[in-house]
Chains A and B, each alone.
Chain A
C-alpha cells in the first residue's frame, strides 16, 4: 500500500506517494527526476548515491523513502545558486577532480558535509570524510586537492577565481 510522504528537497517541499519498498534514491531519481544522485552498487559500498539527509551524508540507496518522511534532503542539484556553481563544484571542475563524473555528486556532498562541520580540515580529515565514496578514475589526489582549495576559499560561489 502506498504512503504519502513529505520531503524538503533542496529547499522545496515535495509530496510523493511511495511504496514502502522504494528507497530514497529511487524516489529522488524516478519520482522527482533528480538524476544527479547516482545509483551505483545499491548496497552502501560505493557512495555514488550520497545525499545529505537532515545535515548528515548518507547512502540514499540504504534509506527507505518512508523513513525519510519529514526530512530535509540536499542533493547535488541543490548546491548551485542562481545558476552559479558552489565553490566545491567549481573547485572540482578547475582542479581536474572530475573524470567520468559518476562519483562526483556523492563526493562533493560528502565534502560539503565535512566543510559544514569542519571548515579547515587537514588532508587526513578530508581523506577520512571521503572514505565512503569510491572513485575509479582519479586516484583521489585531485579530489583531495579540490576540497582543500575550496576550504582555503580559493573559489567563491560563482567560480571567478
Chain B
C-alpha cells in the first residue's frame, strides 16, 4: 500500500513545531509513532497536505517522576517504554498494564501515549487507564497552554477537544494515596493485534490493608463511542467493605452506563454480559493489588 504525497516537516524544537501547527493547522497531521496515522493515510482516510514529525524534538519521550507526588509522561513515550517502567507498574498499574496490551510488540515499539489518546479510537487501551488515574493532558499552542482531564478529552470516535493548532506534550498524574491498587483487563479473541471487545480499568483505595473502600474509579472502553467513567458503579463501592457481592453490584451498575454495539466481534448482549463480569474481575484484581500496597523503597 502506498502513501499519498505530502510535505514533510521535521521541527527540532517545540517552539518550531507549535509555529508550524499555528500556520498549517487543519492542513497538517502530527506524526508521532505513525502506527495509526500512516495506516489511515495508506487507506486514504486521512490525506493531510503536511505531516509534522515530532521525532527530532527533544524531551517529548521522557517519563519524569515528580518527587513521589506524581509523574509526567511525555506524549512521545512509547507503549513499550511505559510497559517496562517499574514505577508505573508499582503506582500507576492500569497504565503500565494497558501499555503492555496495546497492538503487538512491534507496534508498541513505535506507538505513543499521545497518539493513543489523540486518535480517540473507541477501543483504545490507554484512555480508560488514564481516566482511572485522573490523568490530565497538557495541550500547548503557540500562544497558550492548558491542562485537560482525560475524562473530558474525548468527544466521539476519533474526536477530541484538541484544536488544530494544539499539540499534546505530556500526560500528568498524581500518585494515588497509600493502599491504592489498580488493574486493567482487556477482552479480545487474541492476545495481540486485536480490537478489544471490552476494556476495563479499575483503581481502588482502601482505608487500610483490610479496611473499607474509601475511593474507587472504574473506566471502560470499546463499549461506547468514547471511553466511559462508570461514576455510578464507583458510588456503589465507596464507603463499603470490599466483597464479591459488592463488586458484582458495581458490575451490574456499570453495564447501565455503557452503550455497546453489535458487530462481527461480538453482540451488544455479549458485551453487556462481559462488562458485568469483567468489571467484577478487574475490581478483584485491583483489590488484591491494593491489599499488597507497600511504601516505595
Q: Do B105 and A110 touch (CB < 8 A)?
A: yes
Which residue of A has the minimal Cβ distance to B39? A43
Measured CA separation A47–B106 after assembly (Å) = 8
Residues of B within 8 A of A63 (CB): 34, 110
Given A64-B34, A67-B55, are A57 and B106 neighbors across the interface (CB < 8 Å)?
Answer: yes
Which residue of A has the minimal Cβ distance to B54? A67
B262 sits at the interface (CB 8 A): no
Q: Do B193 and A43 touch (CB < 8 A)?
A: no
**Which of under 10, 10 to 19, 20 to 34, or 35 or more describes the interface residues of B?**
20 to 34
A119 sits at the interface (CB 8 A): no
Measured CA separation A56–B106 after assembly (Å) = 8
Q: Do B5 and A131 touch (CB < 8 A)?
A: no
Residues of A within 8 A of B104 (CB): 44, 47, 131-132
Q: Do A67 and B109 touch (CB < 8 A)?
A: no
Task: Mark contacts of B172-210 with chain A using CB atoms, 8 A cut-off: 1 yes-contact digit, 0 otherwise.
Answer: 000000000000000000011100000000000000000
Binding stretch for chain B, among A16-24, A81-89, A137-145, A148-156: A16-24
Interface size on A, residues (CB 8 A): 30
Task: Mark contacts of A92-134 with chain B using CB atoms, 8 A cut-off: 1 yes-contact digit, 0 otherwise.
Answer: 0000000000000000001000000000000000001101110
User: Of A20, A21, A45, which one neighbours B2 at CB under 8 angstroms?
Assistant: A21
B60 sits at the interface (CB 8 A): no
B3 sits at the interface (CB 8 A): yes
A86 shortest CB reach to chain B, Å: 20
Which residue of A has the minimal Cβ distance to B10? A66
A-B contact count (CB 8 A): 85
Q: Do A20 and B80 touch (CB < 8 A)?
A: no
User: Of A21, A50, A132, which one neighbours B5 at CB under 8 angstroms?
Assistant: A21
Q: Do A110 and B8 touch (CB < 8 A)?
A: no
Measured CA separation A40–B109 after assembly (Å) = 19
Task: Mark contacts of B14-58 with chain A using CB atoms, 8 A cut-off: 1 yes-contact digit, 0 otherwise.
Answer: 000000000000000001001100110011000000010101000
Residues of B within 8 A of A62 (CB): 34-35, 38-39, 107, 110
B6 sits at the interface (CB 8 A): yes
Which residue of A has the minimal Cβ distance to B5? A21
Q: Do A56 and B193 touch (CB < 8 A)?
A: no
User: Of B7, B38, B193, which one neighbours A131 at CB under 8 angstroms?
Assistant: B193
- Which of A21, A43, A56 has its CB near the most chain B CB atoms (within 10 A)? A21
A59 sits at the interface (CB 8 A): yes
Contact residues of B between 224 and 274, Cβ < 8 Å to A:
none
Q: Do B8 and A66 touch (CB < 8 A)?
A: yes
Q: Do A23 and B3 touch (CB < 8 A)?
A: yes
A3 sits at the interface (CB 8 A): yes
B122 sits at the interface (CB 8 A): no
Q: Do B34 and A132 touch (CB < 8 A)?
A: no
B296 sits at the interface (CB 8 A): no
A58 sits at the interface (CB 8 A): yes
Residues of A within 8 A of B6 (CB): 20-21
Residues of B within 8 A of A42 (CB): 1, 42
Contact residues of B between 95 and 125, Cβ < 8 Å to A:
103-107, 109-110
Which residue of B has the minimal Cβ distance to A106? B106
Residues of A within 8 A of B106 (CB): 44, 47, 50, 57-59, 110, 132-133
B158 sits at the interface (CB 8 A): no
Residues of B within 8 A of A66 (CB): 8, 10, 53
B59 sits at the interface (CB 8 A): no
Q: List 22 A-B contacts (CB under 8 A).
A: A20-B6, A20-B51, A21-B4, A21-B5, A22-B3, A23-B3, A23-B38, A43-B39, A43-B42, A43-B43, A44-B106, A53-B109, A56-B80, A59-B107, A59-B110, A64-B3, A64-B8, A64-B34, A110-B106, A131-B104, A132-B103, A132-B106
B-binding residues in A (CB < 8 A): 1, 3, 19-23, 42-45, 47, 50, 53, 56-59, 61-64, 66-67, 110, 128-129, 131-133
A-binding residues in B (CB < 8 A): 1-8, 10, 31, 34-35, 38-39, 42-43, 51, 53, 55, 80, 103-107, 109-110, 191-193
- Please provide the 4 A-B residue pairs with the shortest distance between their CB atoms, ordered closest to farther: A132-B104, A20-B8, A131-B192, A42-B1
